[in-house]
Amino acid sequence: MPLLTPKDFNEMRFLLSAPTPRAFPAPDRVEIAFAGRSNAGKSSALNALCQQTALARTSKTPGRTQAINFFDGPSMRLADLPGYGFAQVPPAVKAAWARLIEAYLSQRECLAGIVLIMDARRPLLDFDRQLLQWGGQFGLAFHLMLTKADKLSRNQQVNILRKTLAEVDGASAQLFSAPKRLGIDEARAAIGRMLPDEFIANENHYQ
Ligand SMILES: Nc1nc2c(ncn2[C@@H]2O[C@H](COP(=O)(O)OP(=O)(O)OP(=O)(O)O)[C@@H](O)[C@H]2O)c(=O)[nH]1
Ligand SMILES: [Mg+2]
């Protein structure tokens, strides 16, 4: 199993923002994508995982980011996908989003897996299921993060995690909270498990 160290996350740096597939960086590094609905907490999760406050831009206004943002670290590349499912986005923008995501998922040969971020209060909505289906067609591995867990009681957390795991086939899932820093080591380990076997092993690894 590939092993990652804290440095692999903490030393992540912004690489570029790609509004179209032509702007994607060369697929020369192993890559993990963060996907999920607008406002689910993708950028916050990415920042928490990398112990940085402003690596990916977070916003109270959903649907701000329409491009794919790439980040490079010592061992892998991360991609923050634009959020989907934001009702007030015009149809032309929605179509452009779908083209960008579909091009990304179908062409990105260096993509090792997808971290699907969902609000723990409302997991597995239509677009989440569509993404799982799309990714499944391309043989991609998924790890589900149920974020904003701080908004739920411990009982609710346990129930929603159990229910979610029962509904997805073969994907792993966890609870997460960016402000409470809950689930960071678990998420880091899950990302490590999605990387190919030839990946470098290190000390201080997550497992
Ligand atoms: N309570 C709580 N709030 C969170 C958590 N994660 C994110 N938020 C808040 O949710 C809002 C959206 O967070 P973002 O990280 O910007 O969400 P996003 O999925 O990147 O949104 P888009 O880029 O628009 O798709 C912000 O106001 C965050 O502060 C969490 O774990 N707990
Ligand atoms: Mg974001």
- pLDDT value at position 173? 98
**Could you report the per-residue pLDDT of 105-159, keeping only the tens digit for each?**
989 999 999 999 999 999 999 889 989 998 888 889 999 999 999 999 999 999 9
Say yes or no: CB of residue 146 within 6 Å of ligand 1: no
- pLDDT value at position 201? 46
Say yes or no: CB of residue 36 within 6 Å of ligand 1: yes
**Could you report the per-residue pLDDT of 11-27, keeping only the tens digit for each?**
999 999 999 999 999 99
Ligand nearest to the CA of 176: 1
**Could you report the per-residue pLDDT of 70-98, keeping only the tens digit for each?**
999 999 999 999 887 766 677 887 788 88
Q: How many residues are present in the chain?
A: 207
The residue behind tokens 């499944």 is: 136
Reading across the β-sheet that carries 172-175, which strands appear in turn?
13-18, 68-72, 77-80, 31-36, 111-119, 141-147, 172-175
Ligand nearest to the CA of 147: 1
Residues 56, 46 contacting (CB under 8 angstroms): yes
The closest-lying atom of ligand 1 relative to the alpha carbon of residue 176 is 31
Cα distance between residue 146 and residue 78, in whole Å: 19
Residues 171, 142 contacting (CB under 8 angstroms): yes
Ligand 1 centre from 142 Cα, in Å?
20
Structural domains present in the chain:
6-194 (3.40.50.300)
Q: Which of 58, 66, 117, 127 to mutate to test the pocket of ligand 1 (most atoms within 8 A of CB)?
A: 58
